[in-house]
Amino acid sequence: MSEEMSPLQMYYYDTFNQVYEANQKGDFKYDQTYFIEKIGTFYSFDKVLPNVDSAYSYYFFNVQEEDWGCVSAYQVPFQGRITYAVYTTCDGDENWLELYDSDDNPQGYIMIKHRSFKVTDKETLRNWRIGE
């Protein structure tokens, strides 16, 4: 975990760990790779959000269409507002998480591997394993 997480990023981190702990105790209601389903709903792309749409498209074409992972977008309520998460899983242990506020402003880029969350920048996140 990075020491510099915002409250929104910490919310995702805490949720991820709650799902991990539940899985360790045998409660498999939420798979760790889909932990956001516990706190949000699928985003239907009914609102024009260029940054969210661009993030989704990036992972769709570079991961999902290449057949080594899956991308999903979610609407997640946080402190009375809707936020958006673009979450990408792969066949390995790496996951990519991009967070946006209700006005489509970036709120964080997070590299997830096993149980570690690392806050990073957009370029580093999008090139992690994908750009190799």
Written as six digits, the tokens of 78 are 């946080």
Instruction: Determine the structural domain holding residue 15 and report its residue range.
Output: 7-127
In a domain, 47, yes or no: yes
Rounded alpha-carbon distances, angstroms, from residue 113 to 44, 50, 52, 72, 88: 27, 27, 22, 18, 12
In a domain, 2, yes or no: no
In a domain, 132, yes or no: no
Report residue 23's pLDDT band, with 50, 70 and 90 as the boundaries. confident
Domains: count for the chain: 1
In a domain, 51, yes or no: yes
In a domain, 76, yes or no: yes
In a domain, 49, yes or no: yes
In a domain, 23, yes or no: yes
Residue 115 has pLDDT above 70, yes or no: yes
How confident is the model over 40-74, as pLDDT tens digits? Answer: 899 988 888 999 999 999 999 999 999 988 999 99
For residue 107, give the nearest of 88, 79, 84 by alpha carbon: 84
Q: Determine the length of the chain.
A: 132
| H runs (alpha helix) in the chain | 7-24, 50-59, 122-127
